[in-house]
Amino acid sequence: MEYEICYLIGESKEANLEKIRPVIEGIITKHKGTFLEGEFVRKRRLSYDIKGEARGTYVAKRFTVPSKDEREELFPDYDIMGEINKELRYNQDILRYMVVKTDDLPPLKDLENIEEKAKAQFGAREQANRENKKFVKPQERAAVKEETPRVQEVKATPVVEVKEPKVEEVKTEEVKSEEVKPEEVKVEETKAEDEVVVEEKPKKKSKKKEEEILGDDIDEKLDEILNI
């Protein structure tokens, strides 16, 4: 199984590269790794400072280790890649490192060719820019100048102060509420109930007695008339 290791050495330790390289390679060979031919070494400016280093040197190299079946047969209780990563992690000579499989990576030679092509293209582009600047006429340069946008003066509109109307203070007078005395209601004692005078009506004579009296009177009057 093939792997690639890429490690970074700070600018302050670049002079010790020849001493650091065998130490890193010794860690891998100690744990059953075998290095292949070829190496990629380049100096770079770092995107951000790492442990106070702004520049460094990248070193990439490839190696092989026994396959999974071979490891299980020959070294059943031995984690080769785990041991390699453990020692690299605690190494103080390198700023960063990375170990990956090479299944999807181009060969190291191709990396060198790609970088050389990129440098050549960049150099040709810079040269073309310089030549173009030489052949540009002064009049054309003046025409190329960017026109500065005109800024229209904006007259400031007067600010009208709006005074708030004064609000007169309204004095509130306390209204004394007069106590209303309830009127005394004189209650006159009513005298004893008036005596009720009941007039006794004369008793009516019975009809029979009246008829008898009338009959007697008539007889007397008839006798008087006849005796005349």
**Cα 11 to Cα 60, 78, 92, distances in angstroms:** 17, 36, 14
CA angle 8/9/13 to nearest 5° reads 180
**Cα 222 to Cα 41, 226, 228, distances in angstroms:** 189, 6, 10
> What gap in Å lies between CA 143 and CA 147, rounded to an integer?
9
Q: Which CATH class is domain 2-105?
A: alpha beta
Which residues, given as ranges, of the chain have pLDDT below 50? 170, 175, 177, 180, 184-185, 187-199, 205
> What gap in Å lies between CA 7 and CA 42, rounded to an integer?
11
Report, in angstroms and rounded to the nearest whole number, the Rg of the chain calculated over CA atoms: 69
Listed in sequence order, the residues at least 6 apart from 9 whose beta carbon sits closer than 8 Å to its beta carbon are 16, 17, 20, 56, 57, 59, 93, 94, 95
Identify the pLDDT of residue 64: 94
Domain boundaries along the sequence of the chain? 2-105, 106-143
Identify the pLDDT of residue 94: 95
Identify the pLDDT of residue 193: 43
> What gap in Å lies between CA 33 and CA 65, rounded to an integer?
5
Identify the pLDDT of residue 168: 54
Identify the pLDDT of residue 72: 82
Question: pTM score, two decimals?
Answer: 0.50
Identify the pLDDT of residue 104: 84
